[in-house]
Amino acid sequence: MNIRNILNHKVQQAMLSASIPFEHRPLVAPSKKPGFGDYQANGAMGAAKAMKTNPRELAEKIVQRLELGGIAEKVEVAGPGFINIHLSPQWLNQQLGQAASDSRLAIAPVAEPSTAVLDYSSPNLAKEMHVGHLRSTIIGDAMALLLEFQGHRVIRQNHVGDWGTQFGMLIAELEEQLAENREANMALSDLEVFYQQAKRHFDEDPDFADKARDYVVRLQSGDPKVLQLWEEFRTVSLAHSQEIYQKLNVTLTPEDVRGESFYNDDLAPVVSELEEQGLAVEDQSAKVVFLEELADKEGNPSPMIIQKQGGGYLYATTDLAALRYRTGTLGGDRLMYFIDARQSLHMQQVFTLARKAGFVSGEVSLEHHAFGTMMGPDGKPFKTRSGGTVKLSDLLDEAAERAAALVREKNASLSTEETAEIGRKVGIGAVKYADLCKTRTNDYVFSWDSMLSFDGNTAPYLQYAYTRVRSIFRKAGVDPATLDQPLAIAEPEERALAIKLLQFSEALDQVARDAMPHLLCTYLYELASLYMRFYEACPVLKEGVAPEVRASRLQLCHLVARTLSQGLELLGIEVMEQM
């Protein structure tokens, strides 16, 4: 149930009945200030301006025709023509009761599910996965969980870089190391080190370099021996990534891997179709598409190479083939790409050309959800002290250790195992949340201190709020499943909390539409803060609290706990009973 949508719909009907053309929208939004109702419809002013009438009078006319049933207890016109809507406490009680008795918190699956294909994580297998892939993995996975919860069909695609010229060098190196009786697992235990070895070998030994080049050709033509080496390399590297997904509590599985190599057979057809359509032309013996749609200020079209001189294909060619596969074979109608903002031009070119060439129909939504860079404390892209790339696996271990130390400090009564387990959930949660709570498109500074703080908009704060609510039930000796008395909100703090609880689905809808998980973080943070205020103002277990008041407040507490844990779960973050 999305209150905002319901009100928008009702106000729109009233506007139509007041002869206001449909193009003027009701513009319903939660009110920003107390005293202005719970929701405000601001559409009357714009409509009045366009229709050249008095905005207050028009607002009055809308209100006269507004049929909200039992939803509102009061509707009034304020200022130059705002319509303030005060929700009725009975209606709020009833809605909360429905949420309380429903395993989905009364959030129905969407009526028209889409098939969303999400491209995220997508590391290059030639190297160790690094922090640059962290944001894509975390944001993409949260979106996958959220869209799934809403009832959409979600297809995850891990577009790993497992093809291209560097693999000639890597498998030639692997072959030599295997010949020295090393096992692939051992040789590739640190991909960064292995890559350096291969590169040095390539630069210093011309015979080896020749062999590497030969292997690229043989790999592309499907030579079984070379393919087998490549398979071996790929398997070990994928296992590295999978280990990180496990640590991160990310839902990607080996079945979601659809790497660049998968599209190899479709690259030549993509190029020839673009040529047949007259879109690709030969330019300095390469095949190039010039996109006027993306021309620069001087009017020079944006060049997009799809086949190199010598026949090699490019990143863009593969992306065109992948896009075709995702709409055509997978039936996706919403293609979502979670990739660094630095690849924006690339994505724009791919989307523009895919539309132009008819690889994708007009109804399919093509979305690049770009994100900024994760910065170190020095304000430069995150690196180790010595300037190397930080290995994700080390970073995640450090997060769990730091969090475990904090938990130990706070609660010495926990066993070593409990502390380690809670530390893992808090540490990983903190890393994920620190990323998710920032506006996706901005850069952000990675800071242990702020992400692990128990105050402010952090995972530990929300996880702690959850444990506090749960502890009330332990103290009261009440099983929340047995709560069945009706809710009866009365105090302003209860009312504010109630409305926030009922806005959960609004938050989810927004996140789903804009792929902006920080909106869900903000929502959860506000919910937890309103809960704290409620808890201070409205005693629950104190002696003298009437039984029906206590029951209603316990219901509110339980709804808060469930909403927090559901919300965090959709962000890929675990909760625990105590910390």
Distance CA 45, CA 488 (A): 36
Distance CA 352, CA 358 (A): 10
How many residues of this chain interact with ligand ARG, rule: CB under 6 A? 10
Stretch that binds ligand ARG, among 107-115, 118-126, 418-426, 476-484 (CB under 6 A): 118-126
Instruction: For the CB of residue 132, give the shortest distance to ligand ARG in the complex, in Å.
Output: 7
Residue with smaller CB distance to ligand ARG, 202 or 325: 325
Binding mask 149-188 for ligand ARG (x = CB under 6 A): ----------x-x---------------------------
Q: Is 122 an interacting residue with respect to ligand ARG (CB under 6 A)?
A: yes
**128, 389 contact by CB (below 8 A):** yes
Q: Is 339 an interacting residue with respect to ligand ARG (CB under 6 A)?
A: yes
Q: Is 201 an interacting residue with respect to ligand ARG (CB under 6 A)?
A: no
Stretch that binds ligand ARG, among 18-26, 116-124, 373-381, 476-484 (CB under 6 A): 116-124
Distance CA 257, CA 310 (A): 29
Residue with smaller CB distance to ligand ARG, 41 or 154: 154
Residue with smaller CB distance to ligand ARG, 43 or 161: 161
User: Residue 447 gets which letter from DSSP?
Assistant: -
Q: Is 256 an interacting residue with respect to ligand ARG (CB under 6 A)?
A: no
Q: Is 119 an interacting residue with respect to ligand ARG (CB under 6 A)?
A: yes
Q: Is 468 an interacting residue with respect to ligand ARG (CB under 6 A)?
A: no
Q: Is 234 an interacting residue with respect to ligand ARG (CB under 6 A)?
A: no
**261, 163 contact by CB (below 8 A):** yes
**432, 459 contact by CB (below 8 A):** yes
Rg of the chain (C-alpha set): 28
Look at residues 438, 394, 402 and name the one whose alpha carbon lies nearest to residue 420. Answer: 402
Residue, CB closest to ligand ARG: 122
Which residues have a Cβ under 8 Å from the Cβ of 506 and sit 6 or more positions away?
2, 3, 4, 5
Phi and psi at 83, nearest 5°, equal -110, 115
Residue with smaller CB distance to ligand ARG, 351 or 534: 351
Q: Is 329 strand, coil or helix?
A: coil
Residue with smaller CB distance to ligand ARG, 209 or 294: 294
> DSSP alpha helices (H): ranges in 329-415?
344-356, 392-410
Distance CA 137, CA 116 (A): 16
User: Residue 127 gets which letter from DSSP?
Assistant: S
Q: Is 493 an interacting residue with respect to ligand ARG (CB under 6 A)?
A: no
Distance CA 491, CA 537 (A): 9
Binding ligand ARG (rule: CB under 6 A), the pick from 2, 12, 42, 124 is 124
Residue with smaller CB distance to ligand ARG, 322 or 571: 322
Binding ligand ARG (rule: CB under 6 A), the pick from 173, 256, 319, 333 is 319
Applying CB under 6 A, the residues found at the interface with ligand ARG are 119, 122-124, 159, 161, 319, 322, 337, 339
